[in-house]
Structure 1
Amino acid sequence: MLNRRTFIAAGAALGATAPALAAAAGSATTAGQLNSADPNEVLNALVKLRASLDGRIAFWWMKGPRYGVVGTTVTPLFNNYVVSWHRFVRQPDGNYKSSIVELSYYVDLATGQPIEKWRNPITGQMNDLEHIAFGPVTSTRTPHGVAPPDKTPGVEMRLKSTLGVLAQHNDDIWVQEDVSATMTPTTPGRAPYSGNDMATYQGSVRQLLDPSLLGVDAVMHYQSVTAWRSWMKMGDIKGTLMARAMGQKVWSVDDVPSDIMALARRMHPAMIADPVATLEMTPPERSFHR
């Protein structure tokens, strides 16, 4: 068992008032359906799906392949294993401050073992892979999407985001959050990076409409289309990196799959040993680091 603080207590210390939380938790009631035309109700639903209205930390794990796309040819490259943790704190204006830490690892498609040296099937060249620790990064979630993070050390960021209900059927709801970003490193010699992330969070309408539940069960369907990573050394080859993955929300690192946790403990032991302290630490000089 990990030595970590009580997440509910951490959330209570954030100062969110009970009346505001109750209003957010119980605002969406339209004949058993979430009012998808009300951006504030959609935002509150997103927060309940991704974490909790009261500032409690939620964990997410994710698995799925990455592909190289050149023209219409799609080439499987490797699998991506991710563990992340999130906290949302309601602000007086109804927006939410969100904080996130993400640990991301590339593993062999067949064995699931972490890759340090990788032969790029498109170029035929050997590459060193980067296993990424991202954050902590804080940004503002609004009814119209995510605003640029307060700080993105080491990069200048341009961001476009949308938020909405993709579909509702019976007790199922799918909330989409799409983000397009261009990040230009402030370090000379590093190329800009651009990408498009499309996350769809699936949960229960009944749970979302229950004012006694501040956070609900959820799974995620994830797709992305991004520029080549610099370490792939693609040269003049025109194409994109594409991801397809699924994930699940859990309330403890003990419920994250053991193979992902083994990677996190091996490669970023200090960060995963105390997730709350990691989320609250002073942001590093760079948002991304190995």
Structure 2
Amino acid sequence: MIDTNDENMLLSRRTLMAGGVATGVAAGLPISAMASVATPPGSADDGALPADPATRAAIVRRMRLRHNAGHVFWWFRGTSYAQQGATLIPLCGMVFGSMIKVTPRDDGGLNVIQYELGFRTDLETGERLEKMRNPLTGQMIEIPFAPVGPTAFSYSATNDLILPEMIGGSRFTIEHIPELFYRAGDMVLFQYQSRATVETKGKPDRILNDLGNIYGPASEALDANLPTANAWVQGTDVTDYARWLQMPPGMGTQTLRSIGQKVFRFEDMPKDWLEMITKADPKMADDPLAVFDREEATYRN
């Protein structure tokens, strides 16, 4: 039975990767949400999940971020499509990284700083694209170098999210659907779904939907002695087109399918992403943690 009165902290996918804001999807933002332990039809749930809200909130924090001070890094990769009805038209690949600095407070809350950077890639070679031909319009378009952040936000001791009024000069309004959080064999998983509206002065609003699953070993996710745990993600974004694609009205929507992983060192991020960082932003490659002290970049998606 789903208890919709059980309030926990759940972050949308790219707070961990988020890929989120930088790709122009809802996952780029952390959100506060309702979470429940549920047994989906046909699942192998063995009833081994704790029932109390505080323990569940601790599990999610352990999987998404960490309880102690330090850094986590999320990467994901996937394919972006133009979607027209049920037809998917490949646009480009994506390799994305999110760097997150976590600082616990004495009151039980968290201060968080997040920096995100994604690269669009050739569908055949995997090489970074700086230009691409829009397959629907035939137009050759420039792909912006568009990091997001560093974005500072926080959580209260009761996991209420405190976001800045503006992020990179744009306003994000988040709507959230309650998560399903459950056990399947040796894995703990939770499903998430969110919708964001992005308002940028002088540009049309964008609707960004983000949905997927975050999962990890139960032996780590349920271990109260561990400050953080290994985790993976599988996600789908369904959004209005990124503005830089210059799509005329009526051309459908944009869809991204991706997989990803949480790691604990910058050097453990995907090799191709690290190589693209070295070429595109040598200062970041030389001193990656210094990005948390940069001025906030303008949101360009």
Q: Is structure 2 residue 221 aligned with structure 1 residue 212?
A: no
Secondary structure of the 1:261 match is helix
Q: CA deviation at 1:94?
A: 4.4
* Displacement of 1:69: 0.5
Unaligned segments of structure 2, at least 5 residues: 1-45
CA distance in 2, matches of 1:43, 1:239: 38
Contact 1:172 1:205 in 2 (8 A): yes
Distance 1:195 1:273 in 2: 33
**Alignment correspondent of 2:65:** 51
| Partner SS, residue 153 of structure 1 | coil
Distance 1:164 1:203, change over 3 A: same
Q: Secondary structure at the match of 1:132?
A: coil
How does 1:74-89 map onto structure 2 within 5 Å? 74-89=88-103
| Root mean square deviation, CA, Å | 2.6
Structure 2 residue 296 is matched with structure 1 residue 284: yes
Partner of 1:178: 193
Question: Within 1, Cα distance between the matches of 2:161 and 2:132?
Answer: 34
Q: How does 1:79-228 map to 2 (within 5 A)?
A: 79-91=93-105, 94-141=108-155, 148-149=163-164, 151-162=166-177, 164-186=179-201, 189-228=202-241
Kept after mapping to 2: 8 A contact 1:95/1:140: yes
Aligned positions of 1:234-253 closer than 5 A: 234-253=247-266
**Do 1:164 and 1:176's aligned partners in 2 also have CA atoms closer than 8 Å?**
yes
The residue that corresponds to 1:273 in the other structure is 286
Size of the alignment, in residue pairs?
256
Deviation at 1:87, TM superposition (A): 2.9
Instruction: Give the 3-state SS of the residue equivalent to 2:291 in structure 1.
Output: helix
Aligned to 2:271: 258
State how far apart, in whole Å, the 2-side matches of 1:197 and 1:184 are: 17
Q: TM-score, normalised by structure 2?
A: 0.76
TM-score norm. by structure 1 comes to 0.78
1:151 positional shift: 4.3
Report deviation, 1:252: 1.1
> CA, structure 1 residues 40+131, in 2 after alignment: closer, same or farther (shift >3 Å)?
farther
Structure 1: tracts of 5 or more residues without a match: 1-30
Specify the SS of the correspondent of 2:116: strand
Question: 1:97-116 CA deviation, whole Å, 9 max, x = no partner?
Answer: 33211111000010001112
Q: 1:236 to 1:165 in 2, by over 3 A?
A: closer
Q: How far apart, CA to CA, are the structure 1 residues paired with 2:55 and 2:142?
A: 45
